[in-house]
Amino acid sequence: MLGMTTALRAAGWDALAWNFRGCGEEPNRLVRLYHSGATEDLSAIVEHAAASYARIALIGFSLGGNLTLKYMGESTPHDSVVAAVAISAPVDLAASARMLDQRWSNRIYLRRFIDSLIAKVEAKALRFPGEIDARGSRALRNFQQFDDRYTSRLHGFRDAADYWARASSRQFLLQITRPTLLLNARNDPFLAPECFPFPEAKQNSRLFLEVPDTGGHLGFLEFAGGLRPWFEGRATEFLANAAVKG
């Protein structure tokens, strides 16, 4: 986020970076956590920014990329939103969860991510002991188990499957009406084949899908002018064109 902010500032944009609930230094004061489909939170951020800016572009990374795409397609975005970019976005959450849960090479990342989520749940349980039960949470081993027990129940979904189905952005891609770039690498270890929506990009002229062979998950490193993420320049280039052409 810091690198993208630096690139945006150099390209003439002001930048506003926001943390998901419970991911910043200040704890979230409500029972709920963040999740991949919480577009109401993004909508509140956009409303806040629109009070000062007539034109807004959105950029989302990974889970935030799915959230950004869902916001752009599930209903008409705020009038000030002119374009969006999503990078390494798991547009099919169920398929990505299976990749993370089952692929051996993802085990280290999976364990670290699950541990961080469990820590958030334990902190929540101390603040809301009557509403969140953290007993046995350290035994959870994958996203299926965590989302079944916590994410779905805290946010009004029936179970993990219901959450993944309703929060995935792929079902909304055909409804996107403003220039939107989706940048997913073929060798991203977290993305299943379902996360490369070629049919939707072919049908929707406002959705630009770019799939480099390499880049991994939020990598896309280039060595021209020093080691740096290639997507920073690609995102600012896309936004410059989109802001002009609409």
Which of these is catalytic: 62, 96, 152, 169? 62
Q: CA–CA distance from 59 to each of 20, 76, 102, 201, 224 (Å)?
A: 14, 17, 29, 18, 23
Active site residue 116: no
Note the pLDDT of residue 244. 57
Residue 191 CB burial class (10 angstroms; 0-12, 13-18, ≥19): buried
What does the pLDDT look like over 87-103, one tens digit per residue? Answer: 999 999 999 999 888 88
In the predicted structure, residue 140 carries a pLDDT above the cut 70: yes
Active-site residue, 217 included: yes
Does the pLDDT of residue 68 top 90, yes or no?
yes
pLDDT at 226 exceeding the cut of 80? no
pTM score: 0.94
Q: Is 106:189 a contact under the CB 8 Å cutoff?
A: yes
Reply yes or no on whether the pLDDT at 155 is more than 70: yes
Is the pLDDT assigned to residue 63 strictly greater than 70?
Answer: yes
Q: What's the half-sphere exposure (Cβ side, CA atoms, 13 Å) at 168?
A: 20
Q: What rounded mean pLDDT belongs to the chain?
A: 93
The rounded distance, in Å, linking the Cα atoms of 75 and 55 is 18
* Residues paired with 180 in a beta bridge: 84, 207
| 104 has a pLDDT exceeding 80 | no
Q: Is 155 a catalytic residue?
A: no
32-56 pLDDT per residue, tens: 989 999 999 999 999 999 999 999 9
Residue 246 pLDDT level (bands cut at 50, 70, 90):
low
Angle at 117 between CA 115 and CA 118, to 5 degrees: 65
pLDDT of 198 higher than 90 = yes
Domains delineated in the chain: 1-22+36-92+168-246 (3.40.50.1820), 106-167 (no CATH)
Q: What's the one-letter identity of residue 191?
A: L
Mean pLDDT, range 69-74, rounded to an integer: 98
pLDDT > 80? residue 70:
yes
The answer to whether 193 and 95 are in contact (CB under 8 A) is yes
Residue tagged active-site, from 88, 92, 155, 217 = 217
Question: End-to-end distance of the chain based on CA atoms, in angstroms?
Answer: 25
117 token code pair? 């989520």
Whether residue 72 is predicted with pLDDT greater than 90 in this model: the reply is yes
Please give the share of the chain, as a percent, with pLDDT higher than 90.
82
Which residue is associated with the tokens 């506003």?
A: 16
Examine the pLDDT at 225 and tell me if it is beyond 70.
Answer: no
